Amino acid sequence: GGGFMDLSEIMRQQTFAVVGDTLNSEKYAAKIKEGLVSQGYTVYAVGKELPSLNDIPGDIDIIDLCIRPDRGLALLQENRKPFRCIVLQPGADSPELLRWLEEQHLPYIHGCLLVGMRLYPRTAQTPGNS
């Protein structure tokens, strides 16, 4: 039990699957991937780089959807890997997707990891920094 994670808990996880167009530097997915990598997270890119969440080696903590809801839903429906929480970026959710998440009892939040990195930067965790 214990309800869903919030953004600060999300940013304390280690392994992220960023789902979307991670190869186009104009896109949110690419900016998020770059930011997470630069802060020392383990990041796998699904959509343009890996075809499926199931192609990720090892475990995933967070699935970050930066992709059209129909594509995101398809990738989640075929996913067999355990994870802790899904982050729905602005524009990544639809009534169908939300209904399916509720039916499957999957933990998710609406949020943006660009905001998460800004609010809870990893680099600021060294003692003595203000």
Answer for the pair 73, 100: CB distance below 8 angstroms, yes or no: yes
Write the single-letter amino acid at 68.
R
Cα separation values, 106 from 14, 62, 63, 75, Å: 19, 12, 11, 14
pLDDT bin (cut points 50, 70, 90) of residue 1 is: very low
pLDDT bin (cut points 50, 70, 90) of residue 129 is: very low
**Residue 113: which of 79, 95, 86 has the closest Cα?**
86
pLDDT at 2: 52
Is residue 11's pLDDT more than 80?
Answer: yes
- Reading phi first (left if > 0) and then psi (alpha if -120 to 50, else beta), residue 85 is in beta
pLDDT at 4: 74
pLDDT in tens, 26-60: 999 999 999 999 999 999 999 999 999 999 999 99
pLDDT in tens, 59-112: 999 999 999 999 999 999 999 999 999 999 999 999 999 999 999 999 999 999
Count other Cβ atoms within 10 Å, centred on residue 128.
4
pTM for this entry: 0.92
Cα separation values, 17 from 5, 39, 92, 116, Å: 16, 15, 15, 15
* Residue bearing the bigger pLDDT, 124 or 24: 24
Q: What is the DSSP string of 21-32?
A: --S-TTSHHHHH
pLDDT at 18: 98
Residues with Cβ within 8 Å of 81's Cβ and at least 6 positions away in sequence, in order, are 53, 54, 56, 59, 60
Is residue 127's pLDDT more than 70?
Answer: no
DSSP assigned state of 93: -
Max alpha carbon distance in the chain (Å)? 47
